[in-house]
Structure 1
């Protein structure tokens, strides 16, 4: 009997973003989306300590690369104005109307370095057909289907909330939703405070069955979890290292859609002949297509790139075609 394929991170260097999928066989286990120039967890940085918060071992550092970081576990001897070698522990997070500072620790302190989950990944020219599209569409809609139901995920400043909508008894719907919940957490790279709003399950034995199913589904995913309460609510807490795919769509949907449009253009260029590569987008998306991205698209494909607009298109529905002239 053939052994099941071991999980493998596959990495695609796209235009304006790096895409990564953790794949076992033909199954996507997890996904990541990285935009160039952003701070990332595990990245070294230097900064000047501009404030040391009284009564704590925390402070604020102005980073040489720009922006501020909240520094935790400061050594006692560190003083304001001192330059520090840091390690980023959480990237900055854009939210509606504000930007949460990055978080960091002084390099060399215990647990200051965070290993990159992609360090052992393998760069490929293209991710397997259809897999990134499946994850991207799910993240764009913030939902995943399960038999007779749907998991809906919402990003709020306080937490990520997962709601379950389905047909059947509350116990059956809750149990059927568990695999989709586990998939959403990994596909969308969700961390921090997470609330799961299951249907209200009255019997304690049924609530215990859902708790056990969730424990089994999340085995190997580092987190803390409460038991389901009488209203069907479960809270998870997991390490948050940066913006999830859902954060991307909530705060920069046009930017995410523009990068996906460029990917579709590259795929179209792979599949046909023609001297002109025409990319048709919603008018709002055209302004997000940076000139350097279009230059890179022309270089990669060897085609003349033309941008057309169509107000009838959805933001996420850009299309590309090769034209023979």
Structure 2
């Protein structure tokens, strides 16, 4: 069965999955950030690092971004057209600023939305209504749970995906013998890179393999699994560590959930609420942090889309990802 891109324009979130045979091959999520790849706008150079072509620009709305490839004559205070090449990357502990490059001669234009980004690659995207079950039947709920926990099970073990300021770390854990465990984890790792939209610097901590032939065996298996992945990788060192490097344009799904767990849970709740079929008002029950993360505009959008009254109930005993929506008498 051929793969197909499916797209949902959700509340405060765009979602897209590349699905085939009931499985998600790749996934993308956007949260409507202002500075997204493809945006071209005028900005002011507020700082230039001495002796380099790098600096800091500020847009008219106050947002800031790092800039590279500055012209030699560009001085602080000059206004210039720039193009965003990387969105802000929010990780545990800090947020990396967006990255832009000079765009002389280009006209100002907004960033493409997620659907437009995918269509620009030549792919066809099928837009789904809020009531569609296609995401669910292809495993969206399982993918969201993996993004929330960072844990992905495979026969004989699990990988733990943890975003850090330096790189995304993938730890391989399980009770199998080291070589069998490493080989069993390879497909799960390759799938996670696509399904979680992981890019940038990636470190994989395999079990330590003393025999060089065993390490080469795992290297070969990983190379085969990453045949359709674009990036570079190192061979496994004596401590079982492998590093991958790929282009980084936006935060991965697991990075979004790790940095903004309450906001991520709020978006999951809104999606669930749109799909409630029973008549009546909508009651959103969630941890107080999740309800605090629900912006008034999002609730208003939910009311407009569903034509219902929206109510909320805080329950501190619920986990952040334990929120649920249900119909109650109006």
The alignment's TM-score, normalised by the length of structure 2, stands at 0.89
- 2:173 aligns with 165
Please state if 1:79 is matched with 2:79.
no
Alpha-carbon distance between aligned partners in 1 of 2:118 and 2:61, rounded to the nearest angstrom = 23
Please state if 1:154 is matched with 2:162.
yes
Alpha-carbon distance between aligned partners in 2 of 1:64 and 1:45, rounded to the nearest angstrom = 9
Please state if 1:215 is matched with 2:233.
no
**Residues 14-42 of structure 1: CA distance to partner in whole angstroms, max 9, x if unpaired?**
11111111222322111111112332122
What is the alpha-carbon root mean square deviation over aligned residues? 2.1
- 1:188 aligns with 196
User: Which of residues 6, 13, 22 in structure 1 aligns to 2:9?
Assistant: 13
- 2:290 aligns with 285
- 1:124 aligns with 128
Alpha-carbon distance between aligned partners in 1 of 2:282 and 2:85, rounded to the nearest angstrom = 41
Decide whether the 8 Å contact of 2:205 with 2:241 is kept in 1. Answer: yes
Provide closer, same or farther for how the CA distance between residues 122 and 85 of structure 1 changes in structure 2, counting only shifts above 3 A.
farther
Alpha-carbon distance between aligned partners in 1 of 2:25 and 2:11, rounded to the nearest angstrom = 24
**Residues 121-168 of structure 1: CA distance to partner in whole angstroms, max 9, x if unpaired?**
332214422532121100001011110110011111111111111222
Decide whether the 8 Å contact of 1:280 with 1:318 is kept in 2. Answer: yes
Dislocated runs of 4+, deviation >4 Å:
none
Alpha-carbon distance between aligned partners in 1 of 2:191 and 2:63, rounded to the nearest angstrom = 33
Decide whether the 8 Å contact of 1:9 with 1:118 is kept in 2. Answer: no
Superposition map of 1:109-148 within 5 A: 116-117=117-118, 119=120, 120=123, 121-125=125-129, 126=132, 127-130=134-137, 131-148=139-156
Superposition map of 1:60-99 within 5 A: 60-99=56-95
Please state if 1:306 is matched with 2:306.
no
Aligned residues, how many?
Answer: 315
User: Which of residues 258, 263, 269 in structure 2 aligns to 1:261?
Assistant: 269
**Residues 141-199 of structure 1: CA distance to partner in whole angstroms, max 9, x if unpaired?**
10111101100111111111111112222111111100100111112211111110001
Decide whether the 8 Å contact of 2:40 with 2:84 is kept in 1. Answer: yes
Alpha-carbon distance between aligned partners in 1 of 2:95 and 2:176, rounded to the nearest angstrom = 41
Decide whether the 8 Å contact of 1:45 with 1:64 is kept in 2. Answer: no
Alpha-carbon distance between aligned partners in 1 of 2:273 and 2:267, rounded to the nearest angstrom = 10
- 1:42 aligns with 38
1:234 CA drift (Å): 0.3
The alignment's TM-score, normalised by the length of structure 1, stands at 0.90
Provide closer, same or farther for how the CA distance between residues 135 and 45 of structure 1 changes in structure 2, counting only shifts above 3 A.
farther
Alpha-carbon distance between aligned partners in 2 of 1:239 and 1:168, rounded to the nearest angstrom = 33
Q: Which runs of 5+ in 1 are unaligned?
A: none
Q: Aligned to 2:72, what secondary structure does the other structure show? A: coil
Task: Tell which deviates more after alignment, 310-319 or 117-126.
Answer: 117-126
Alpha-carbon distance between aligned partners in 2 of 1:220 and 1:107, rounded to the nearest angstrom = 31
Alpha-carbon distance between aligned partners in 2 of 1:169 and 1:294, rounded to the nearest angstrom = 51
Please state if 1:174 is matched with 2:170.
no
Task: Tell which deviates more after alignment, 24-33 or 204-213.
Answer: 24-33
